[in-house]
Amino acid sequence: MKPFLNERLIQHLKDARRIFMCTHISPDGDAIGSMLAAKLLLEGMGKAVTACCADPVPAAYAILPGANEVLTPGAVSGEFDAAMSLDAADLARIGASVNIFQAAPVRLQIDHHGTNPAYADENEIDADAPAAGCIVMRLIRALGQSVTSEIAVCLYTAISTDTGNFSFQNTDPEAFEIMSELMKTGFDLPFWARHLHLMKSPEHLRMLSCALSRLTFLHEGRLTVMSVLPQDYAQAGARPEHSENIVNYGMYIPGVRFCCFANSTGESVTKFSLRAMPPYSAQRVAVRLGGGGHEAAAGVTLKLPAEQAIAAALDAINEEMEKSS
Ligand SMILES: [Mn+2]
């Protein structure tokens, strides 16, 4: 396992008694899992930890240990000795939790996004880590603490989510080293694997059906584009979390090297999820549009209705595909 490098960050955690913790908006399994693992770890060391997310915990993660204690920013009160964000690539990603984070006397962060500008006072950022959860495991090791089965569930959620259940390019030997440690706690892998990676809600399947019905092939079949519209959400009785991971279906087709999922959640809000395989970079396209992420997976939100937003995204994708071909 790789070492946790920032010793000042570790010292701040040791010194703090009351810790505020937050993660990114539209939280995924790594956001919630890494935050809850860190919460359980520090509570095990006798600290008072307040975990916060600007958006509600998605239903799939609501049964994780400690998930019922995650507050929205409006419900947070009291003073803190330190604040720590996890898995949040920049301050904007923290959403409404940012004021509490910024007001803390010491700001810390753990993240794995290459575009992270190191916005905290002490940063532990490893763009090579497949998940923020991997860095939390390094922290556990650095603090000399042991992994409980509850922490194992949270870290398994974090790492298996961000590695596509140990199948994406970012999956590395350390991910399996960590899994080996987690397995030793006896956590119920078959239950959690089924819960996290196989079970789907009816709302998700309805949104997937809408997205697939609009699947379009461009660039001789190397690019796919899918979209969902505000009226789809209304008809399906769905929320934005029900569209999570739909983007990946655009890649499940031979010959596709880039896919774009336009997720229009409101009349003038369109969120893009981008996926790419070499020689293309999802990150370059996202950055060109004002967003960020990784080479293989990136995203951006455009404050435009779907049609205009898709036209703008296609300009940036076309540029990428023509330059990199
Ligand atoms: Mn992550």
Q: How far is the CA of 133 from the centre of ligand 1 (A)?
A: 8
Cα 237 to averaged position of ligand 1 atoms, centre (Å) = 28
Residue 241 confidence (pLDDT) = 82
| Location of structure tokens 């929320």 | 239
User: Average pLDDT, stretch 118-124?
Assistant: 98
Distance 207 CA to ligand 1 centre (A): 24
The residues that bridge with 228 in the sheet, in sequence order, are: 263
Ligand 1 centroid, distance to 212 Cα (angstroms): 26
Q: What is the pLDDT of residue 263?
A: 97
Strand arrangement, sheet containing 258-266: 216-218, 223-228, 258-266, 269-276, 297-302, 292-293
What pLDDT score does 134 carry? Answer: 98
Mean pLDDT of 117-139: 98
Ligand 1 centroid to Cα of residue 129, in Å, is 9
The alpha carbon of 33 and the centre of ligand 1 are apart by a number of angstroms equal to 10
132 CA distance to ligand 1 middle (Å): 5
Tell me how far the alpha carbon of residue 163 lies from the centroid of ligand 1, in angstroms.
9
User: What's the 167 CA to ligand 1 centre distance in angstroms?
Assistant: 15
- Mean pLDDT, to the nearest integer, of 8-22? 98
Q: How far apart are CA 16 and CA 106, in angstroms?
A: 9
Q: Tell me the average pLDDT of the chain.
A: 97
- Domain coordinates in residue numbering, the chain: 7-197, 202-323
7-197 domain in CATH 2.20.25.90? no
Which stretch of 45-54, 139-148, 240-249 has the lowest confidence by average pLDDT?
Answer: 240-249
Distance between CA atoms of 310 and 303, rounded to whole angstroms? 11
Going from the Cα of 134 to the center of ligand 1, the distance in angstroms, rounded, reads 10
Are the beta carbons of 52 and 76 closer than 8 angstroms? yes
Ligand 1 centroid, distance to 131 Cα (angstroms): 5
Q: What CATH number should be reported for the domain whose range is 202-323?
A: 3.10.310.30
DSSP string, 227-258: EE-HHHHHHHT--GGGGTTGGGGGGSSTT--E
Give yes or no for residue 66 having a pLDDT over 90. Answer: yes
Q: Which band of pLDDT confidence, cut at 50, 70 and 90, is reported for residue 316?
A: very high
Cα separations in angstroms, 184 against 6, 41, 247, 258:
27, 17, 34, 38
pLDDT one-digit tens code per residue, 233-251: 999 999 998 998 899 999 9
Q: Does the pLDDT of residue 325 top 90, yes or no?
A: no
Give the Cα separation of 14 and 33 in Å (integer): 21
Position 31 pLDDT exceeds 90? yes
Owner of token pair 């890494």: 34
pLDDT in tens, 195-216: 999 999 999 999 999 999 999 9
Q: How confident is the model at residue 122 (pLDDT cuts 50, 70, 90)?
A: very high
Q: How far is the CA of 233 from the centre of ligand 1 (A)?
A: 26
Q: Say what percent of the chain tops pLDDT 70.
A: 100
Cis peptide leading into residue 305 (ω within 30°): no
Cα 315 to ligand 1 centroid, rounded to whole Å: 27
